[in-house]
Amino acid sequence: MSILDVKNLTKRFGPPIGGFIAVNNISFSLKEGEILGLLGPNGAGKTTTLQLLLGLTTLTSGTITYFGKDFVTNRSKILENVNFSSAYTRLPKLLSVRENLNFISYLYNIKDRAARINKIAEIFHLKELWNKETRTLSAGQATRLNIAKSFINFPKILMLDEPTASLDPDVAGYIREFLENERKEFQVSIILTSHNMAEVEELCDRVVFINRGKIVADDTPENLAKTIEISHVRLLIRKNDMAKFNSYAKGAQLDWLTQGPYSLLNINEKEIPNILRSLAEIDINYDEISIERPTLEDYFLEKARSKT
Amino acid sequence: MNFARIYGLILRYNYLLRRNFDRMADAFYWPTIDLFVWGLTGLYVERLAGNTKIIVAILSGVVLWYIVFRNQGEITVNLLEEFWNDNLINLFVSPLTFGEWIVSVLLSGIVKSIIALFFAATVAFLLYQVNIFVQGFYLIPFAFLLILSGWFIGLTIAGFVLRYGTKIQFFAWTLVYIFMPFSAVFYPVSTLPTWAGKIAGLVPMSYVFEGMRQVINTGTFDINKFWISLGLNAVYLIISIVYIKSSFKKALERGLINII
């Protein structure tokens, strides 16, 4: 069941003539319990889309519907069930961790405030930071506090902007696991932006790719990666065959580069058997070979570099 | 209006007051210094003029002016605090409405101005044995009118900040003082040159300070001054609310993330 529907959403900054269209007629939906990745290069329109979904900016045209209700006319009621966390925002720096969570709990009208705040503090290991001023927290601790804040109101929909940026790998892993559990246990739906493609592949059921304000793809991470035909073949060529290999690669007009002792070929998956056969025929020997199939990162790079 | 959300914000600004030495200085240090300096000035003038009521009038002016200053400051500095802390986003991704934010800073201003009034009155009494409560119940309408004046000035400045960002943040501490000479805080309106007297007629605070001196000197208060001041305050307050609402709308069009 869809709990968020975005239809023909457009945001223009500045006047109708000479202004800038940051989000251009986009439509997508979010199902209950779904984790949706919002990807795109810098300036693609991801942040503006998140701002529109959170009411931090006004829309120029189109509609946003949460739980079957229009967002513009029911903003306050809807936001009781939505929350947001970004690695790039901070809670008031002179307030302690406890004070910040306390005043935020009033904004969401939480019923059993003390119990909820304590529970959140336990989950995100904030008890040891309880009376520390937020300005004294490390970047990772502040990010943890931000994510904790975003769970304070038992959100049905969560918007996370780079949730694990600046976190140690073990803490980032813990947060990912927590998000996955929340989704399974409480059917929390999440919209996530991240530059960590491995994280997006691991967490997201679906990815909406935005470029120049328009949606250019809306599919699963696996299907998006499959649209890329180029694989990466890493070969450890024997030293005395290197010159021969370089001359062959040049002649065959292969896309290749040298990385330390390895030669890295970017080639169409279907061409791999032919190339390996050619190397054997001209007696070029290698001691190691690894083939990396296309990933979401390859898809991202191709789309980000494309002009259209 | 949701009172839990309003209370949450008042709590946030109260936490800030306890932890921020700038705010502590605004609340306690500067009033003490002002009262000390103006009290000495009053004593000197009193000796020259031989009028024992001068120091009461001057110190009452200082104390009552702080009501205007605190109420406008509570609106503008709290808005700036949200800018400085990048906290506007945390506030407005919550169900909080802009109206609730305004109500919370207005209520916060009332509480802090009452604290400031009692603190300053105590300091004036301790330093110079001047009891500003000699004005009795007249202080209530005076304080009420000055709170309204602080609100319209604060809301207007906050509207400027929302439109033009922190580059004009100095208005938060300076713009209120443009009203001071025309408010006739320390001298009668009749002292002002004709052109300035005409402007003072449009400044609601001038009727309060004139009334304050009238009460100190004669023990009576011309009720017409109250109504004129209330009328002017009401007009300016309505204009300032319309202005700040339109400024917030403009800020939303630009995106709250983009205003600094």
d(C-alpha A108, C-alpha A81), whole Å: 9
The strand pair at A286-292 and A230-237 is best described as antiparallel
Residue percentage of chain A with pLDDT more than 90 = 48
Strand, coil or helix: A209? strand
Contacts of A79 (CB under 8 A, 6+ apart): A54, A55, B93, B94, B95
CB contact under 8 A, A107 and B7: no
- Confirm whether the ipTM is greater than 0.90: no
Predicted pLDDT at A57: 94
Identify the CA nearest to A71 among candidates A9, A15, A24: A9
Q: What rounded mean pLDDT belongs to chain A?
A: 89
- Residue type present at position A295: T
Query: Does A51 reach chain B within 8 Å, measured CB to CB?
Result: yes
Residue with tokens 């990912």: A176
- Please name the residues in contact with B78: beta carbons below 8 A apart, sequence gap of 6 or more: B13, B105, B108
pLDDT-derived band of residue B142, with 50, 70 and 90 as boundaries? very high
Q: Which of B12, B253, B254 sits opposite A92 (nearest CB)?
A: B12
**Helix residue ranges per DSSP H, chain A:** 46-54, 75-79, 97-107, 113-123, 139-150, 169-186, 197-203, 221-226, 242-251, 272-281, 296-305
Q: How far apart are CA A92 and CA A75, in angstroms?
A: 24
> What is the arithmetic mean of pLDDT over A196-219?
90
Q: Which amino acid is at A252?
A: A
Q: With an 8 Å Cβ cutoff, is A19 touching chain B?
A: no
pLDDT tens for B236-253 read: 999 999 999 999 999 999
Residue B56: pLDDT over 60: yes
Asked if the Cβ–Cβ distance from B20 to A94 is below 8 Å, we say yes
Q: What are phi and psi of B170, to 5 degrees?
A: -60, -20
Inter-chain touch B8–A48, beta carbons under 8 Å = no
Chain A CB contacts of B252 below 8 Å = 56-58
Q: Which long-range contacts (CB under 8 A, 24 or more apart) does B229-237 make?
A: B229/B145, B229/B204, B229/B205, B230/B145, B230/B148, B230/B204, B232/B202, B232/B203, B232/B204, B232/B207, B233/B145, B233/B148, B233/B149, B233/B152, B233/B204, B234/B148, B236/B149, B236/B152, B236/B204, B237/B148, B237/B151, B237/B152, B237/B155
Average pLDDT value for residue range B154-164: 94
* Residue A307, pLDDT score: 54
Q: Tell me the β-bridge partners of A241.
A: none
Question: Does residue A93 belong to the interface with chain B, where contact is any CB pair within 8 Å?
Answer: yes
> Amino acid letter at A137?
L
What is the average per-residue pLDDT within B22-46?
Answer: 87
> Are B135 and B212 within 8 A, CB to CB?
yes
Residue partners of A88: CB distance under 8 A and separation at least 6: A161, A162, A165
**Which whole-number Å values give the CA distances from B29 to B32, B109, B125, in the listed order?**
5, 18, 16
pLDDT band at A165 (very low <50, low <70, confident <90, very high): confident
Closest CA to A91 of A109, A112, A76, A105: A105
- State the pLDDT confidence band at A259, using cuts at 50, 70 and 90: confident
Q: Under an 8 A CB cutoff, do B9 and A84 touch? A: no
Instruction: Test A51 with B256 for CB contact under 8 angstroms.
Output: yes
Chain B within 8 Å of A154 (Cβ-Cβ)?
Answer: no
Collapsing DSSP to helix, strand or coil, A1 comes out as: coil
As beta bridge partners, residue A69 has A66
pLDDT reported for residue B259: 53
What is the model's pLDDT at position B183?
95
Phi, psi of A66 (to 5 degrees): -105, 135
CA–CA distance, A26 with A9 (Å, rounded to integer): 5
Residues of chain A with pLDDT > 70: what percent?
99
Show the 3-state SS of B183-210: HCCCCCHHHCCHHHHHHHCCCHHHHHHH
State the pLDDT at residue B258.
61
What pLDDT score does B167 carry?
87
- A282-294 tens-digit pLDDT: 899 999 999 888 8
Write down the pLDDT at residue A222: 86
The string of pLDDT tens digits covering residues B176-219 is 999 999 999 999 999 999 999 999 999 999 999 999 999 988 88
Amino acid at A300: F
Contact B49, A53 (CB under 8 A): no
B22 touches chain A (CB under 8 A): no
Percentage of chain B exceeding pLDDT 70: 98
Closest Cα in chain A, distance from residue B165 (Å): 16
pLDDT per position as a tens digit, B83-107? 888 888 999 999 999 999 999 999 9
The residue among A140, A136, A104 whose CA lies nearest residue A120 is: A104
Put simply, the answer to whether B8 touches A104 (Cβ < 8 Å) is yes
* Helices A113-123, A97-107: inter-axial angle, 10-degree rounding: 130
What value does the CA radius of gyration of chain B take, rounded to a whole number of Å? 19
